[in-house]
Amino acid sequence: MLLFSLFLIPLVALYTCASALPTITQPLANYKWPTQFVRSGEANIQVIVQGAGPTVVLLPSYGRDGGDDYNYFTDSLVDAGYLVLRPQPRGTFESTGPMTNVTLEDLAADVAAVIDTLGGGQAIVIGHAFGTFLTKVSSVLYPEKIPAIVVAAPGGIDLPSTIAGMPFIAGNTSLPLEDRLAALETAFFTPDHDAHIW
């Protein structure tokens, strides 16, 4: 119970923020990786599948795909003998499912379905930024499926107001590219570094 309560306060804010998830509509078919689809309730999750061995699931940040962000890291894990699963979040590439009033429990069920269907029932889960919240919730709800987690760039509870909302601007595909890049640079890049590479 104490473990779950440690997540409760920051998650309340995230539930509100996740009421309308962003979408990325570029077709994953243009990429070189093999994909499979996993059914999770009303969602149909597209998963990039690479390698063989013990399973690692990589979860991207809010509004990000699990494709380009993890290419080099995935290659390293595959070379080290791991099966790497990169589920594409709902609304990203060809993943579909309800996009409003989605809870972290809903998204954790997607992760669990991927682990059960493609990962042999167990996986190490690695989450980046917003993906760390999903990683932690998934591990609390499905401890038998997730024996270990890694949280990369988890952020903090009391972020400066100039940074706190930037990920939601950067991930909002309905905004002009210049606004999204400016938000990305403010929140994630040091001065004089170009966010266009993301």
| Distance, CA of 35 to CA of 85 (rounded, Å) | 9
**Listed residue (112, 137, 2, 129) closest to 57, CA to CA:** 112
Contact 54, 115 (CB under 8 A): no
Q: What is the model's pTM?
A: 0.73
Cβ–Cβ < 8 Å for 147, 119: no
Q: How large is the C-alpha radius of gyration of the chain?
A: 16
Tens digit of pLDDT at every position of the chain (198 positions)? 334 333 333 333 333 344 444 444 445 455 578 999 999 999 999 999 999 999 999 998 866 666 677 888 999 999 999 999 999 988 888 999 998 898 999 999 999 999 999 999 999 999 998 899 999 999 999 999 999 999 998 877 777 887 878 877 887 878 898 998 898 888 877 777 777 776
User: Are the beta carbons of 180 and 170 closer than 8 angstroms?
Assistant: yes
Would you give the DSSP letter of residue 10? H
In this predicted structure, what is the pLDDT of residue 25? 43
